[in-house]
A and B are shown apart, each in its own frame.
Chain A
Amino acid sequence: MDEQKALQELKRRNEEALIWFIDRYGAYVNTIIHNIAGSFLPITDMEEISSDVFFTLWMNAGKISHGKAKAYLGGIARNKAKERLRKAGMELPLEDDLLLVSRENPEHAVQEQELARFLQEAILAMQQPEREVFLRYYYYYQPVSLIAKEMDMNLSTVKTRLHRGRKKLRVILWEGGYAIED
């Protein structure tokens, strides 16, 4: 079975197709969950989160287009792991994650959705490998040392790329009428 066929069968509620997705992307989903929650939660809790991710895939199979399953699973895994930590009163701290944002025109409120749009624009404007470093750190919560290892870079290069990514984000937010402080 290839992914396109598996997705078709999943929409027809074929459990063998679900098993196919678990076998194919289970390690990927588990890695994301481990990166976020591995230091805080026992393995049984993380297994529960992982099964929630694939249950969500099962319940929403009709909404997933061909070629998007992996990205979909990655996003769900990330958000469910974060949500579980938040419910347990825990949070994975990331360095250089905080920004103090205000509108230049105080009459306009800071809109989270709009910020997300600017952030997406900033990421799309980044060149590779800067973009991938940014995503690995801020989206997939990979520690800097692991990013360096998997992308075959030294630590200082990874940190430099992250710094440039944040700088690009600040520029785009500023152009959109936001003032930024660290």
Chain B
Amino acid sequence: MKIRISDIMNQMECPAVELQEQGSISLWQVREKTLHKIHNAPVEGHFMRKMSRAGIAAAVLVFCVSITTVAGMIVKWNGFAYTDGLSRREKEALMEEAGTAYARVMVDERDGSVHYLDQDGNEVMSLSAAGAAVYEVAGKAAAEQAVVESTRLIEVALLPLIPWSITEVETTEEGRFADFILGNGHMLLLHPAGEDGYSLVEGDTVTVMLDADGECRLQFRVYREGRPIAEEESRAGHHSFQFTVEEGGRYNFSVMHESSDPHIFTNCSIAVN
């Protein structure tokens, strides 16, 4: 029998060896892709084991079900909300909803069937394992397509990862924009009121600043004529992102939230010097 030493070692637990770094795989991409997988993985519900067979709906393939309708039934919090004018109590209630609302997907370990619950724990849809696999692919594709079509200011399809949502936010003549809550994986896209983007020339310096209610990770991205050209991550409470224009044109700037918990952002501004 022919064997390879290297293949036999597949089954071994080998000690770690200090290796010098090789290659140019991007850690940032690895991080993004891993978090994306985690956020799209179905969640197992322990209480499912207690459900009787009679209590589980028959598995049905639901191609004709409107995915956005179902998504709306499952998730009320849509990742972004303005907080200007809200009282402290209203903000707290909104933060609580943002922190607890998520798509509840439970898998019955006995037969692999997948059950989608609303926030009150009521089942809104159930699918067989095979049906759920199709639904997830179709649902994800439809949701992503909806995000791609949600703005014409930038070419969303060029982004390495499509965010959960994009909200176009107008900035005033003074460069201010309203306070807001932003959830994980949701994005803000800045543009001046009444215009598609900022008309900038070589040498202009743009500074975007905002304060969070706690330390969090944000990703700032720059777009020229709708195409992404630069990005930067920031982990802080007070965020300040600066970009110097090398080539004139129409620019937009986005802010995407990367921490797991939602945060409130205040003192938001964009300045061009």
B9 near A116 with CB under 8 A, answer yes
Within 8 Å by CB of B1, from A59, A100, A169, lies A100
B25 near A33 with CB under 8 A, answer yes
Interface centre among B4, B10, B17, B259 (most CB of A within 10 A): B17
Bound complex: CA A24 to CA B259 (Å): 18
Given contacts A75-B13, A138-B6, contact A47 B21 (CB under 8 A): no
B12 near A119 with CB under 8 A, answer yes
Bound complex: CA A47 to CA B38 (Å): 16
User: In the assembled complex, how far is the CB of residue B246 from the closest CB belonging to chain A, in whole angstroms?
Assistant: 25
Q: At the interface, yes or no: B2 with Cβ under 8 Å from chain A?
A: yes
Interface bits A12-38 vs B (CB < 8 Å: 1, else 0): 001110110011001111111111001
Q: Interface stretch among B27-35, B60-68, B144-152?
A: B27-35
Give the total of A residues in contact with B, Cβ under 8 Å: 64
Chain A to chain B: the 3 pairs with minimum beta-carbon distance, closest first: A34-B23, A51-B33, A30-B25
Bound complex: CA A59 to CA B34 (Å): 11
A22 near B27 with CB under 8 A, answer yes
Residues in chain B within 8 A of chain A (CB atoms): 1-6, 8-17, 19-27, 29-31, 33-38, 41, 259-260
With A16-B259, A38-B22, A136-B17 given, can you name 13 additional A-B contacts, CB distance below 8 Å?
A26-B27, A26-B31, A31-B20, A31-B22, A50-B33, A59-B41, A94-B6, A97-B6, A99-B3, A115-B8, A138-B6, A138-B9, A141-B6
A97 near B30 with CB under 8 A, answer no
Bound complex: CA A33 to CA B37 (Å): 19
Complex interface: chain A residues within 8 A of B14 (CB)? 71, 74-75, 123, 135, 139
A16, closest chain B residue (CB)? B260
20 A/B residue pairs, CB under 8 Å, sorted by A: A16-B259, A18-B35, A18-B38, A31-B21, A32-B19, A34-B22, A47-B26, A71-B16, A75-B14, A98-B2, A99-B5, A102-B1, A116-B10, A135-B17, A136-B19, A138-B5, A139-B14, A140-B19, A166-B5, A169-B5
User: In the assembled complex, how far is the CB of residue B134 from the closest CB belonging to chain A, in whole angstroms?
Assistant: 22
Within 8 Å by CB of A46, from B2, B11, B21, B23, lies B23
User: In the assembled complex, how far is the CB of residue B114 from the closest CB belonging to chain A, in whole angstroms?
Assistant: 17
Bound complex: CA A116 to CA B11 (Å): 7
Bound complex: CA A136 to CA B13 (Å): 14
A54 near B30 with CB under 8 A, answer yes
Complex interface: chain A residues within 8 A of B6 (CB)? 94, 97, 138-139, 141
